[in-house]
Homo-oligomer: A and B are copies of this chain.
Amino acid sequence: MEVQIAVAKVNKYATSESGDTLEVVERPNGGLSVVLADGQSSGRGAKAISQMVVRKVIGLLAEGVRDGAAARAASDTLFTDKQGKVISTLNIASLDLSSGTIVLTRNNRIPLGTSRNVRPLITEIAIEPGLIAVIYTDGLTHAGKRRGAPMDVGATIRAILEDQDPSPQMLADTLLAEAVNLDENRPADDISVLALKVTSRTGDNVRRMTVRLPIEGNWRL
């Protein structure tokens, strides 16, 4: 089998910094975790919040702390620091090779930093070919709202899956492109889309990663 993860990410129109932060960390007991946080508001302040949350979670996961405990710790840290005035969503997608499962840890409806009792929603799914998971920040669901034609993310995903056997990169790229299109090429919010797919591919034993960064005139992404 092979697990493929793809991310596509764009800034809110005319902002040089995304309030979304996404990072990947190796799990000390095997596998990896992708951590995605969306800090309140946009621009530099939001970036600082989402970076703080992601750094906290990644540091704990790297020490072997379980995903749910890492999410609670990040929430408590944010609440202590900002006294409930600043919040952040958090999604962790973990490929946990010690249990043979994909673990999804989510704080979206109840974001981090709101109170001392924030708990994540945790879903654990066996790793098997055909499994697809899609994670995104709310910029995707807000796309098109300005024009009164909001994006139906579920319907878009179903349409992509019906037509073909899309790679995760194609899935993430198509969702993002649809959202940017609905926002008339001026995204109303930062948008991050992550797609994970388990395939039955058996080839070499090589782990691969690619990163592509467009560079704008002002150098800052």
Contacts and interface: CB of A to CB of B under 8 A. Distances in A.
Nearest to A17: B30
A198 to B, nearest CB: 8
Contacts of A100: 219
Given A26-B23, A220-B97, A7 B215 contact: no
A210 B169 contact: yes
Interface in A188-219: 201-216, 219
Contacts of A11: 205
A132 interface: no
Interface in A143-188: 168-169, 172-173, 176-177, 180
A212 to B, nearest CB: 4
Interface string A1-37: 1111111111100000000011111101011101000
A55 interface: yes
A1 B11 CA distance: 17
Contact of A208 (B1, B4, B201, B212): B212
A124 B173 CA distance: 33
Contact of A210 (B6, B97, B202, B203): B6
A125 interface: no
B209 A1 contact: no
Contact of A206 (B9, B30, B208): B9
Contacts of A207: 7-10, 211-214, 221
Interface of A: 1-11, 21-26, 28, 30-32, 34, 51, 55, 59, 62, 95, 97-98, 100, 127, 168-169, 172-173, 176-177, 180, 201-216, 219-221
Given A7-B208, A172-B208, A201-B214, 18 more contacts: A1-B215, A2-B212, A3-B212, A3-B213, A4-B210, A4-B213, A9-B206, A24-B24, A24-B211, A26-B51, A55-B59, A55-B62, A97-B220, A100-B219, A169-B210, A208-B210, A209-B210, A210-B210
